[in-house]
Amino acid sequence: MTHVAIIGGGYAGMSAAATLATRKIKVTVFEAARQLGGRARRVDYRDEALDNGLHILIGAYTETLRLIELVNSRHASAVLRMPLEWKVHEEFHLRAANLPAPFHLLVGLASAQGLGIAEKFSAARFLAKLRSNRYKLERDLSVETLLKQHAQSETLRRVLWRPLCVAALNTPPQSASAQVFLNVLRDSLDATQSASDLVLAKVDLSALLPEPAAAYVEHRGGTVLRSQRVTAIDPLASGFEIEANNQRATFTHVICAISPHQVNAFLIGITALSEIAAVIDQLRYQPIHSVWLKYPGSVSLPSPMLGLTRGLIHWVFDRETLCGQRGLVGAVISAAGEHENLTQDELGARIHCELQQHVSGLPDPLWTRVIAEKRATFACMPGVRRPPQVTPLKNFYLAGDYTESDYPATIESAVRSGIVCAEHIAQQA
Ligand SMILES: Cc1cc2nc3c(=O)[nH]c(=O)nc-3n(C[C@H](O)[C@H](O)[C@H](O)COP(=O)(O)OP(=O)(O)OC[C@H]3O[C@@H](n4cnc5c(N)ncnc54)[C@H](O)[C@@H]3O)c2cc1C
């Protein structure tokens, strides 16, 4: 009888588990941490539920949103869905119009504040050109080079394209893959009107999908083991033996859904997987810093999410509007930069100073907490090679945001990879 071991209870692993459970296939999930969710998980700190990293989802995350709806009975109140609004504080404001795509964007662009008429035409021409080429490049290049080739002005790059690129790919435009960036533009801005919606979690990220997915799996006879670090995966003549917490068990299939920098510990030594291990070995990584600041309850931001371009902060979120956490503000600094040289206290103080320039009368925070993820995502560089989900080793699969996908390292690519593995197994079964 098919029994699938899923190693890793992040978004990829839990999506695979929920999909297999839907198909009535027996699963056991092994998660090393106490908390499900991996890089998108709840972090409990001083009576507040923080997230390991503040996440932005979009309407184009069709599989993530579908799975949330499938497993989370409170899905309607778990997310805040807003028509695309790109607000760079006091510099730029674009709001999508209530029209079918791509007119929602074109009309939004035409009425955007912070751009001259020539820049609006230039951005529209750029998008029209991408569209006529079906968002395909003959040869991958960096986003910055592509923007220069299409004569996008410094202002356009600063307030629109660079923030979009860093938010989507977590890679600086100088070294980010233009092709992957275009894939994101194609599916978010040029698909349907709702594909460009911003979707923000109103619950912590473990409660959004991984925990309800675990309940869904358990309700269908599956098992989700927390605090169970897998220490060995041994291929047998038929199936696999898995070791966790000094106990061994056998399974017919394995979906290895752990982060890319950890996965090779299991792949190296398995001859059939040596080529894949070499591809993973070539991946490079980019950090994301999340800075949490707790202010007195009276403090709030002008909107639930705000973009900033002139300091370290890329995005800042008001958790009161989103999750009812009064006075709690979370700032995101994507990708590598000078901030990595600061101590956590220095970084907290610096972020507070930057916020003071945007929120008048901001008092000192009661506390700050920095969560630095050094390997938040793989660096999405031009031509980057990613391993497939279905591997040459029979019944052994890889799931995760770094596996083959049109998308950069995002929740959606993690979810889709888990579904690909599960569907492949279900077809065989
Ligand atoms: C700070 C930050 C901000 C981000 N912002 C966004 C965003 O705005 N939008 C977006 O779409 N994406 C964002 N991302 C990316 C997104 O979080 C990831 O793409 C996604 O969570 C990856 O999921 P995954 O399941 O592939 O991997 P992971 O989340 O890394 O899951 C792997 C799991 O495997 C477990 N594990 C590892 N080793 C073992 C072992 N030996 N045995 C058992 N379990 C093991 C880990 O504990 C972990 O739970 C962000 C990431 C970070 C870090």
- Residue 65 has a pLDDT of 97
- Residue 234 has a pLDDT of 96
Q: Which atom of ligand 1 is nearest to the CA of 15?
A: 25
**Ligand 1 close to Cβ of residue 285 (< 6 A):** no
Of the chain, the percentage scoring pLDDT greater than 90 comes to 86
Mean pLDDT of 160-175: 94
* Closest-CA residue to 331 (of 384, 372, 291, 360): 291
| pLDDT per position as a tens digit, 392-408 | 999 999 999 999 999 99
Rounded Cα distance between 243 and 246, Å, is: 6
The residue whose C-alpha atom lies closest to atom 53 belonging to ligand 1 is 376
Helix axes 103-110, 117-132, angle to 10 degrees: 160
**Ligand 1 close to Cβ of residue 387 (< 6 A):** no
pLDDT surpassing 80 at residue 289? yes
Backbone dihedral region for residue 24 (phi beyond 0: left; psi -120 to 50: alpha; all else: beta)? left
| pLDDT per position as a tens digit, 304-319 | 888 888 899 999 999 9
pLDDT surpassing 80 at residue 330? yes
- Sign of the four-CA dihedral 424, 134, 11, 232: positive
Q: Where are the domains of the chain?
A: 3-44+202-283+384-428, 84-196, 285-378
Distance of CA 41 to the CA centre of its chain: 12
Q: Which of 13-27, 105-119, 172-186, 274-288 has the lowest mean pLDDT?
A: 105-119
Q: Which atom of ligand 1 is nearest to the CA of 229?
A: 42
Locate tokens 């995502």: which residue? 377
Q: How much is the mean pLDDT over the chain?
A: 95
Rounded Cα distance between 128 and 32, Å, is: 47
Distance (angstroms) between ligand 1 centre and the Cα of 239 equals 27
Mean pLDDT of 311-330: 93
Q: Which atom of ligand 1 is nearest to the CA of 262?
A: 38
- Establish how many alpha carbons lie within 13 A of residue 162's alpha carbon, considering only the half-sphere containing its beta carbon: 23
Of the chain, the percentage scoring pLDDT greater than 70 comes to 100
pLDDT band at 33 (very low <50, low <70, confident <90, very high): very high
Write the secondary structure of 332-395 as one string of H (helix), E (strand) and C (coil). Answer: EEECCCHHHHCCHHHHHHHHHHHHHCCCCCCCCCCEEEEEEEEEEEECCCCCCCCCCCECCCCC
Give, in order, the Cα–Cα distances in Å from 127 to each of 93, 152, 198, 256, 344. 18, 11, 20, 38, 40
One CATH from 3.90.1170.40, 3.50.50.60, 3.40.640.10, 3.40.630.30 for 3-44+202-283+384-428: 3.50.50.60
The residue whose C-alpha atom lies closest to atom 19 belonging to ligand 1 is 410
Q: How close are the terminal C-alpha atoms of the chain, in Å?
A: 9
Query: Number of H helices and number of E strands within the chain?
Result: 16, 20
DSSP character string of 220-247? TT-EEESS--EEEEEE-SSSEEEEETTE
pLDDT band at 358 (very low <50, low <70, confident <90, very high): confident
Distance (angstroms) between ligand 1 centre and the Cα of 87 equals 27
**Ligand 1 close to Cβ of residue 210 (< 6 A):** no
The residue whose C-alpha atom lies closest to atom 26 belonging to ligand 1 is 400
Rounded Cα distance between 174 and 183, Å, is: 18
Outline where DSSP puts E strands in 18-113.
Answer: 26-30, 42-45, 48-51, 57-58, 79-82, 85-88, 92-95
Residue 291 parent element (H or E): strand 285-294
pLDDT surpassing 90 at residue 375? yes
pLDDT surpassing 80 at residue 418? yes
Q: Choose between 310 and 198: higher pLDDT.
A: 198
Domain 285-378 = CATH 1.10.10.1100: no
Mean pLDDT of 217-241: 97
**Ligand 1 close to Cβ of residue 305 (< 6 A):** no
- Sign of the four-CA dihedral 151, 154, 155, 158: positive
Given a contact cutoff of 8 angstroms between Cβ atoms, the answer to whether 2 and 29 are in contact is no
pLDDT band at 102 (very low <50, low <70, confident <90, very high): confident
Query: What is the biggest distance separating any 2 CA atoms in the chain, rounded to whole angstroms?
Result: 68
pLDDT band at 274 (very low <50, low <70, confident <90, very high): very high
| Amino acid type, 95 | R
pLDDT surpassing 80 at residue 89? no
Mean pLDDT of 367-371: 97
Q: Which tokens go with 310?
A: 């002139």
Mean pLDDT of 131-158: 96
The residue whose C-alpha atom lies closest to atom 15 belonging to ligand 1 is 410
- Residue 182 has a pLDDT of 97
Q: Which of 49-63, 64-78, 213-227, 299-313 has the lowest mean pLDDT?
A: 299-313
For residue 64, the SS3 value is helix
Distance (angstroms) between ligand 1 centre and the Cα of 236 equals 29
Q: Which tokens go with 237?
A: 């003549």
Q: Which tokens go with 399?
A: 């799931």
- Residue 360 has a pLDDT of 86
**Ligand 1 close to Cβ of residue 12 (< 6 A):** yes
**Ligand 1 close to Cβ of residue 39 (< 6 A):** yes
